[in-house]
Amino acid sequence: MPDVPRVYHPRDRDIPARSEHAPDHLDGLNPEQRAGATAMGSPLLIVAGAGTGKTRTLVHRVAYLIESGTRPERILLLTFTRRAAQEMLSRVERLVGAQGRHVQGGTFHGTAHRLLRTFGPAAGLASDFSIMDQADAEDLMQVGRAHSGVAAKNKRFPKKETLHYLYSRHVNTEKSLHHLLHEEYPNFVEYEEEIAKIWADYTGRKSDRNLVDYDDLLLFWTLLLEQAPDLAARISGLWDHVLVDEYQDTNALQSRILRGLAGAHGRITVVGDDAQSIYAFRGATIRNILDFPGQFPGTRVVTLEQNYRSTAPILECTNTLISRARERYTKELRTAREGGEKPWLVAARDEAQQTRFVADRILELHEEGIPLREMAVLFRAGYMSADLEIELARRKIPFDKWGGLRFLEAAHVKDVLAFLRILENPRDEVSWYRILMLMPGIGEQTARAAIGSMADMAWTSGAFGRFAPPPRARNAHASLVQLLELLRVGAAPDDSQVSRDIARVRQMYDSLLREKYDRPEPRLADLDQLQVIAAGYPSRQAFLSAIALEPPSGTQDLASGADEEDDVLVLSTAHSAKGREWDVVFLIWAVDGYFPMARALGDADEEEEERRLMYVATTRARNHLFVTYPLQAYNTRRGADYTLDQLSRFLDRGVRDTMERVALGENDVPAAELAPPPTTVDLRALLRGRFGA
């Protein structure tokens, strides 16, 4: 998708790609963008505001490098998501032709993964390691937590999620445990020693089980570059140019990786916007942008301030919103897109009315000729779209939901994957435990005994078969042994039938699923989809690594396959919307407590990040922006309902003045729904009468 609205500028593909000294494709760039695309001879920092053609500049830079004689495979393009990488590569391809396809690219983690498979064995890392996702890592942390015994003695001991969170922050921010505890968990300061022990246990277990977590991917990459000069030379010698997108969202470790890769030759370009830094929770720090010129001497800085995306009224609103930020380094954005309507600030009575407004408006705009794929509904957290999803389904409006890792986090998907994992890595005790606990008659004790017994037998393939289960688990044991034998039969080294393995697992697992849930159908459908995805991978290892590193963005996404062509509305978390743009953007739940989220309040830095996040969300809009908030926001999920009836604090008077305020009428809601009249009917009494109770 071009950053420049189609009606005003020719699309990239309409411009013939010619390799002269000054390629024609650069004609479509403004002077700053052009400088960003062509500056050579020094490290380059491009500070680019929202909608200023940052991606466009980066794409043209890659094209320019290729046209200047750099071989495509000698260019490394690090992006935040796989989607962003693919989009850029396909745009490069349009500019320079098929050779653009050979540009190396992906996420930091994905690139680390490829490097470690190649260079890890030379540094003592077995090449067939398995990648753990966050939940796996937490589960493994739990093993050590239980083992230590402290958790049982102390009720207030940190949960496995917290232990893992602290560990991950330690690795990514390079802050000590002591420091982190005092800063974020003063109530756990007394457990510093115990936590350190559990971390050591965790590290040992990963090593024993040949497991690698997300943080290890970055850490091992860093260590190879810093501690193994011979390998470092090989790795940094792979690429002549390194380009990094979304630099504001990288962390201290990633900065070290870049210094290792390009510190010597300085052929590095980073692009970022401090106003859009929204991943501090993952250890990202805008210090990376601010300190870049110091770390890469001779850095040239190019600033992009001309916004091509949004209309003037929308930009006025978003500029005001971000002007409240405590710290800012980039200047205000300008736009040439005069005219257009002000953003709407829509007060709905409650969630139902908010939902109705969004659905109605989408249909109206669609009838006016705006395709669904040019519209998006954004929100702070994944669960906030639940009501809207039901309504959209009811009205048969197709949508993709981005963000959240729901699909792969679902218990039934993880269950099936656990089988594949133990085939791939028989020492994966977390997966063994998960599988064993599924079986009727096997509980915690039996599962642990079985795992212990297998460990004693050095995890040989028949180890589980030789485990002697207690009587009540005999049936379960027998059927599991049978299934595992069946799965191993076809497990030739070149086995490409991952989806066949899943089918075999399901012969047993589906019946367990049917017993466990009253409505198993959607879960069974998820497993069907899992099989479809699996069929696209050449090997089990490739499949398992890919889903850990590049989780499918949503279930709809998978069901429809190639979705780019379909006319489908997008629902997305604000985080997942970064880097994208739409003609029409709805931001729902602009309520204090939801956006910003309640738990971010009380910490000034977190609150600032929430503000930037709202800035990211609102700057996705090209022509129409609707911000909605229900006046009554019940939290009905729990008994103790509380009401959040305050408009988001970020939409202060000054911001509201840039918006068109709209109050939805009551007329579309039957009055009875608002305040039910009292009645003398006693429902309980009627029921008792009917059943004679």
Partner DNA sequence: TTTTGAAGTCTCTCC
Partner DNA sequence: GACTTCAAAA
Q: What is the binding site for DNA (CB under 7 A)?
A: 80-81, 107-110, 134, 142, 159-160, 214, 278-279, 281-282, 380-383, 402-405, 410-411, 440-447, 470, 472-473, 549, 551, 573, 575-576, 597, 599-600, 606, 635, 637-638
- Partners of 211 in the β-ladder: 130
For 541, the token pair is 């290892």
Determine contact, residues 535/543, Cβ cutoff 8 Å: no
Least gap, CB of 403 to DNA (angstroms):
3
How many helices (H) and strands (E) are present in the chain, helices listed first? 31, 18
Q: Name which of 21 and 638 has its Cβ closer to DNA.
A: 638
Nearer residue to DNA within complex by CB, 241 or 380: 380
For residues 407 and 525, what is the distance between their CA atoms, to the nearest angstrom?
A: 11
Rounded Cα–Cα distance for residues 326 and 322 (Å): 9
> Parallel, antiparallel, or unpaired for β 569-573 and 104-106?
unpaired
Closest contact distance (angstroms) between CB of 138 and DNA is: 9
Reduce the DSSP state of residue 634 to 3 states and report it: strand
Question: Rounded to whole angstroms, how far apart are CA atoms 598 and 358?
Answer: 24
Question: Is 616 in contact with 578 (CB distance < 8 Å)?
Answer: yes
- Cβ 10 to DNA shortest distance, Å: 32
Dihedral Cα 156, 160, 162, 167, nearest 10 deg: 130
CB of 78 to DNA, least distance (A): 10
Minimum Å distance from CB 384 to DNA? 9
Q: Are strands 44-48 and 268-272 parallel, antiparallel or unpaired?
A: parallel
Of 229 and 470, which CB lies nearer to DNA in the complex structure?
A: 470
* Closest distance to DNA from the beta carbon of 575 (Å): 4
> Residue 268: enclosing H or E segment and its boundaries?
strand 268-272
Q: Which is nearer to DNA, 329 or 634 (CB)?
A: 634
d(CA 15, CA 13): 5
Contact 214, 48 (CB under 8 A): no
The nearer residue to DNA, 433 or 459, going by C-beta atoms, is: 433
CB of 63 to DNA, least distance (A): 25
Q: State which residue, 284 or 304, has the beta carbon closest to DNA.
A: 284
> What does the alpha-carbon distance between residue 164 and residue 144 come to, in Å, rounded to a whole number?
11
3 or 139: CB nearest DNA? 139
Structural contact between residues 276 and 578, judged by C-beta atoms closer than 8 angstroms: yes
- Residues in CB range of 259: below 8 A, 6 or more apart: 295, 296
Q: Which is nearer to DNA, 24 or 456 (CB)?
A: 456
Tokens representing 122? 């030379």
**How far does CA 435 lie from the centroid of its chain?**
27
- Which is nearest to 130 in space by CA: 151, 150, 116? 116
Determine the 3-state secondary structure of 648 from DSSP: coil
Shortest CB 557 distance to DNA, Å: 13
Nearer to DNA, 32 or 139 (CB): 139
The least distance separating DNA from the CB of residue 168, rounded to whole angstroms, comes to 8
Residue with Cβ nearer DNA (326 or 637):
637
Task: Supply the DSSP symbol for 668.
Answer: T
Q: CB of residue 139 vs DNA: minimum separation in angstroms?
A: 9
Name the minimum Å distance from CB 146 to DNA: 10
The nearer residue to DNA, 82 or 182, going by C-beta atoms, is 82
d(CA 618, CA 360): 20
**Minimum CB separation from DNA for residue 551, in Å?**
6
What single string gives the DSSP state of each residue in 68-87? TT--GGGEEEE-SSHHHHHH
Q: Tokens standing for 557?
A: 């996404």
Phi/psi of residue 66, nearest 5 degrees: -65, -40
Q: Which lies closer to DNA via its Cβ, residue 163 or residue 621?
A: 163
Question: Helix 108-119 to helix 229-236 angle, to the nearest 10 degrees?
Answer: 130
Instruction: Give least dist CB 114 to DNA, A.
Output: 12
Q: 43, 296 in Cβ contact below 8 A?
A: yes
By C-beta, is 96 or 473 nearer to DNA?
Answer: 473
